[in-house]
Structure 1
Amino acid sequence: MKPDVAVLYEHPKWFEPLFAALEKRGVRFEAIRLSDHIFDPASADIPAPVVLSRVAMSSFLRESDHGIFYAEALLAHWAANGARVMNGADVIAVDSSKARQLSLISSLGFGTPKTRVVHRAADLAAAAEGFDYPLLVKANIGGSGAGIVRYSSAEELAQSVKDRTVPDSVDKVLLVQDYVPARGGSIIRMETLGGRFLYAIEVESGGDSFDLCPADACVAQPGRATIRMAAVTPAPELIEAAERIAQAAGLDVGGVEVLIDDRDGTPLFYDINGLSNFVADPLNVLGWDPHERLVDYIEAAIAQKGSE
């Protein structure tokens, strides 16, 4: 019998809590590992009426033969053949491009850090003209803080370009971005489900540390410094902004990150994350488990497909 939902995933540990929540609820599901997957573009077969993508943009850190762009094609194929795909190809297209994220956020009228986009490292110095230092150079496709370097001077950046030590992005697109001092030394990550606010956490943001992943599998990595995080209730205007961004990006589930510029108090949105594996130790941090809400959302999608 075909499962009710298929979960396309890449990381071997991150989604054990989701699978456990599905099993507990009695939802028939198939976990499909992306790494060794093959598909026939002429086949109309789908693995389940509902598909949930849990493809991490940081997968290139774990496998040089990552499946980011493969997954985009696969999810589009399944959707074209009738599957209800959550966080599908359109979401991957946004999730895999910081440049597209900032463009989308700006189009909605929300503030973003000053940024310039290039597709050649040789153009970084020209793109940085008019910026104050320090500044950041970011890989367009990152994840877990990967591909972000802070430069203190134009000379340091020029030398890094010459030495070919600037960040590299798997799509070769790079961003020059203003280094924004975060008020209170922290950022706010607002998680959304179905385009609505789910919860928010405040995460400590060190000056030169950009790996702010608050999930169990991140926090538990050997040698990784502990980060401070706590549940917070953002201002209503921040929640409204996160919901509008999530809806515009087509997120079924995912996060929106914002910091408050300590120089003038302006909220600056800088990241849309289509992969939410939720906060570590949710019962203690939040007082409830967001996986239960996600399973509710999946069950509603299964019921809707069954009624079609």
Structure 2
Amino acid sequence: MKKIHIIHENSEWTNHLTARLDELQLPYEEWFLDQGIVDLSSEPPEGIFYNRISASSHTRNHRFAPELTESVLSWLERHERTVVNGSRALRLEVSKVNQYMALNASNIKTPQTIAAVGKEQIVDAARKLNKPSFITKHNRAGKGLGVQLFHSVEALNSYVYSDDFEEPLDGITLIQEYIEAPDSSITRCEFIGGKFMYAVNVDTSKGFELCPADVCQVDDLFCPVGEQEDKPKFQIRDNFSDNIITSYESFLQANQIDVAGIEFIQDKEGTLYTYDVNTNTNYNKDAEEQYGRYGMLELANYLGKRLKTM
């Protein structure tokens, strides 16, 4: 029987989707790819395959999940199976360098960024960037992990040569100009089937770990529970409209990405900078309940339609 195969390594981020698939009575199977084998001489089962592997898999002790998934996706695509967020999407998920190059190829503006390997080279890159404030981030991270803000090269130098320095998983540190939003917020645009669904305003005043998933609200340092805040951290922007949406949809089509969240920030002059593409996207329950639109339900419907048309 044809079914929806969900490729992932984090059940806490997938339970919301499988609940919607159950609700719609759609057949599915989970492929938990933290480890496994790929018999390249065999044929894959029938159905559609939805890839939800995250760049942050190593933070859950699933170090080689992306590498295993890349093998699986190559096998599926060789046999012309229907893959949602295939190998090209995975390539962009695990490398911000690849993201920025693909965004720039679609004429989408990104912050000035230099990639560096080696502590001395990281400091040299900051000097070359020559900005009053800048951030460092890991090329392969997820959830904003490893992001640090600096206001001088000297401060960066002290950090890089301290015990607090976080070595990137792939060795590549990005040094990036700091874009300051007047209201300390960023916007995350959600797409399903390559088409715009809604935009979320995210309050960044308490830090850079911006995963919208419900579990992240509990686990992340900057997602405290039980506190009364002036406004929710995640709020869906009603009737959001901007020319960037058309550019994003063209970018997704060009890179064979079906499901994604794309994040941008605007400076005080109104210039828009795109800085992250999340092909393993999550949705915030509280924001959706207030807005009355549900990403996982729309995603489940989309997967069901793709299965039906096979």
Taking the aligned partners of 2:287 and 2:161, their CA distance within structure 1 comes to 45
Superposed, which structure 2 residues align to 1:221-232 within 5 Å? Answer: 221=219, 224-225=223-224, 228-232=233-237
Note the aligned Cα RMSD (angstroms). Answer: 1.9
TM-fit CA distance, 1:55: 0.9
Q: Please give the secondary structure, in 1, of the residue aligned with 2:168.
A: coil
Name the TM-score, length of structure 2 as normaliser: 0.90
Give the aligned residue type for 2:52.
R
* Aligned residue in 1 for 2:166: 167
Divergent runs of 4+, >4 A? none
Give the aligned residue type for 2:235.
A
Q: Please give the secondary structure, in 2, of the residue aligned with 1:57.
A: coil
Count of residues paired in the alignment: 301
Q: What is the identity percentage for the equivalent residue pairs of Structure 1 and Structure 2?
A: 26
TM-fit CA distance, 1:179: 1.0
Residue 100 in structure 1 maps to residue 106 in structure 2:
no
Q: Please give the secondary structure, in 2, of the residue aligned with 1:17.
A: helix
Q: Residues 222, 271 of structure 1: CA spacing in aligned structure 2 closer, same or farther, 3 A cutoff?
A: closer
Q: Residues 231, 64 of structure 1: CA spacing in aligned structure 2 closer, same or farther, 3 A cutoff?
A: closer
**Does the aligned pair in 2 maintain the 1:49–1:82 contact within 8 Å?**
no
Taking the aligned partners of 1:47 and 1:18, their CA distance within structure 2 comes to 21
Higher deviation after alignment, 164-173 or 93-102 = 164-173
* Aligned residue in 1 for 2:11: 12
Q: 2:257 aligns with which of 230, 246, 251?
A: 251
Taking the aligned partners of 1:13 and 1:296, their CA distance within structure 2 comes to 20
**Does the aligned pair in 1 maintain the 2:190–2:260 contact within 8 Å?**
yes
Q: Please give the secondary structure, in 1, of the residue aligned with 2:219.
A: coil
Q: Residues 60, 287 of structure 1: CA spacing in aligned structure 2 closer, same or farther, 3 A cutoff?
A: same
Name the TM-score, length of structure 1 as normaliser: 0.91
TM-fit CA distance, 1:283: 4.3
* Aligned residue in 2 for 1:67: 65
Taking the aligned partners of 2:5 and 2:28, their CA distance within structure 1 comes to 5
Give the aligned residue type for 2:50.
L
The superposition leaves residues 140-190 of structure 1 with CA deviations (integer Å, 9 ceiling, x where unpaired) of: 011112121122211121223333644322211121101110131100000
TM-fit CA distance, 1:64: 5.4
TM-fit CA distance, 1:88: 1.2
Taking the aligned partners of 1:109 and 1:35, their CA distance within structure 2 comes to 36
Higher deviation after alignment, 3-12 or 231-240 = 231-240
* Aligned residue in 1 for 2:266: 260
* Aligned residue in 1 for 2:24: 25
Q: Please give the secondary structure, in 2, of the residue aligned with 1:101.
A: helix
Taking the aligned partners of 2:28 and 2:286, their CA distance within structure 1 comes to 24
Superposed, which structure 2 residues align to 1:104-253 within 5 Å? Answer: 104-128=102-126, 129-163=128-162, 165-206=164-205, 209-221=207-219, 224-225=223-224, 228-232=233-237, 233-253=239-259
Give the aligned residue type for 1:172.
G
Give the aligned residue type for 2:19.
A
TM-fit CA distance, 1:218: 1.1
Q: Please give the secondary structure, in 1, of the residue aligned with 2:13.
A: coil
Stretches of structure 1 lacking an aligned partner (at least 5 in a row):
none
Give the aligned residue type for 1:80.
R
Taking the aligned partners of 2:287 and 2:179, their CA distance within structure 1 comes to 29
Residue 272 in structure 1 maps to residue 262 in structure 2:
no
Give the aligned residue type for 2:282.
N
Taking the aligned partners of 2:45 and 2:198, their CA distance within structure 1 comes to 31
TM-fit CA distance, 1:291: 2.0
**Does the aligned pair in 2 maintain the 1:282–1:289 contact within 8 Å?**
no
Q: Residues 72, 285 of structure 1: CA spacing in aligned structure 2 closer, same or farther, 3 A cutoff?
A: farther
**Does the aligned pair in 2 maintain the 1:189–1:256 contact within 8 Å?**
yes
Higher deviation after alignment, 100-109 or 267-276 = 100-109
TM-fit CA distance, 1:272: 0.7
